């Protein structure tokens, strides 16, 4: 059933699409799955034999800041948000963690904010419970990169104690090397020094951490694909194979309204913007060609869908 608010959203969408000259009026707009998932806090679907569940951790309401996108102004950013029917008074960045059940194991990709970054995030544990995911049954946590919104959920706020001591934690070797190098502080802006110190105080000492080097199988059915640029070791994962493939694209882009539509825009979070953009275009072209389902950490619920070419950029079509 389509309620009034959805009907209004679609009307606005059609107008925005006409103004942009795009062909897909509904791509950025709430699907029935998105509305259902938003109410529940999670969304489950199948990719072949694999059960995928995306679980919502919350949002960060980021005030506008001229430094956020290096090659787009605040006005251009606001216009891009408005063009897809989003509020333009701030940038709302969601956090969504992907789980897969594969080979009888429950695997989690990244670990959420741990409620340590934004007053509006930290809902992962309660939404996992709502989704029927037993925290103690998680066998493996596969990490894409070491930004706080992806790893703080591994560590308790005050003590840094492990939140999942019984799970194996798989991390990209290149990410481990970068953040734990003694020279990292000279390479990083001061705002990242606290993060580097926290990483150095935790992950290298944890006995349940396994490093995966470059493109390699992590477990049967899950392959790591280096996609460096967002960070020194940012890694995405291909799950399953062939037509029944899930691509877990993590921070290949931040929110799609800005960075899938404008893949050439460089978010301040991308450490090496040129490499990040090259990988973004390469990976999006791959999922378009393969018709693969993808998930994005900052895509909001349902957090998964397909990409389509849309003019100079890409349009995200959520799963339904
Ligand atoms: Zn992120």
Q: What is the pLDDT of residues 200-251, one digit of tens each?
A: 999 999 999 999 999 999 999 999 999 999 999 999 999 986 668 999 999 9
| DSSP characters over 212-237 | E-SSEEEETTEEEEE-TTSSTT-EEE
Mean pLDDT of 71-90: 95
Residue 78 pLDDT > 70? yes
**Residue 224: its pLDDT value, please?**
98
Distance CA 278, CA 28 (A): 23
**Residue 22: its pLDDT value, please?**
40
**Residue 241: its pLDDT value, please?**
66
Cα–ligand 1 centroid distance for 15 (angstroms): 31
Cα–ligand 1 centroid distance for 300 (angstroms): 12
Cα–ligand 1 centroid distance for 260 (angstroms): 15
Mean pLDDT of 115-139: 96
The overall average pLDDT reported for the chain is 89
Cα–ligand 1 centroid distance for 147 (angstroms): 6
Cα–ligand 1 centroid distance for 42 (angstroms): 18
How do residues 9-67 score in pLDDT, each as one tens digit?
333 343 344 333 343 433 444 567 777 788 899 999 999 889 999 999 999 999 999 99
Burial 282-294 (b: 16+ CB within 10 A, else e): ebbebbeeeebbb
Whole-angstrom CA distances from 145 to 118, 175, 231, 297 are 19, 6, 7, 11
Cα–ligand 1 centroid distance for 1 (angstroms): 34
Cα–ligand 1 centroid distance for 123 (angstroms): 16
Mean pLDDT of 153-168: 97
pTM metric for this prediction: 0.90
How do residues 274-313 score in pLDDT, each as one tens digit?
999 999 999 999 999 999 999 999 999 998 999 999 888 9
Cα–ligand 1 centroid distance for 21 (angstroms): 30
Cα–ligand 1 centroid distance for 149 (angstroms): 6
Cα–ligand 1 centroid distance for 132 (angstroms): 25
**Residue 17: its pLDDT value, please?**
41
Contact criterion met (CB below 8 Å) for 258 and 266: no
Residue 119 pLDDT > 70? yes
């Amino acid at each position: 059933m389509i309620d009034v608010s959805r009907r209004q959203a679609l009307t606005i969408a059609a107008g925005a699409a006409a103004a942009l000259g795009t062909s897909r009026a509904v791509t950025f707009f709430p699907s029935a799955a998105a509305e259902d998932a938003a109410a529940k806090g999670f969304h489950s679907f199948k990719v072949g034999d694999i059960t995928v569940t995306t679980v919502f951790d919350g949002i960060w309401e980021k005030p506008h800041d001229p430094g956020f996108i290096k090659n787009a102004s605040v006005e251009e950013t606001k216009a891009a948000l408005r063009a897809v029917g989003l509020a333009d008074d701030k940038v709302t960045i969601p956090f969504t963690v992907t789980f897969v059940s594969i080979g009888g194991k429950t695997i989690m990709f990244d670990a959420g904010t741990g409620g340590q970054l934004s007053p509006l995030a930290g809902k992962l544990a309660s939404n996992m419970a709502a989704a029927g995911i037993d925290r103690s049954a998680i066998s493996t946590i596969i990490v894409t990169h070491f930004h706080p919104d992806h790893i703080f959920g591994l560590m308790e706020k005050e003590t840094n104690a492990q939140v999942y001591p019984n799970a194996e934690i798989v991390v990209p070797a290149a990410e481990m090397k970068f953040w734990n190098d003694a020279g990292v502080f000279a390479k990083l802006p001061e705002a990242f020094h606290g993060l580097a110190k926290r990483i150095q105080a935790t992950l290298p000492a944890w006995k349940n951490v396994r490093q995966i080097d470059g493109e390699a199988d992590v477990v049967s059915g899950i392959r790591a694909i280096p996609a460096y640029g967002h960070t020194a070791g940012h890694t995405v994962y291909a799950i399953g194979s062939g037509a029944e493939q899930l691509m877990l694209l993590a921070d290949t882009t931040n929110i799609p309204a800005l960075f899938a539509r404008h893949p050439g825009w460089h978010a301040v979070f991308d450490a090496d913007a040129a490499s990040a953009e090259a990988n973004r275009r390469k990976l999006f072209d791959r999922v378009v060609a393969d018709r693969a389902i993808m998930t994005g950490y900052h895509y909001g619920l349902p957090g998964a869908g397909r990409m389509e070419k849309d003019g100079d950029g890409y349009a995200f079509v959520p799963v339904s």
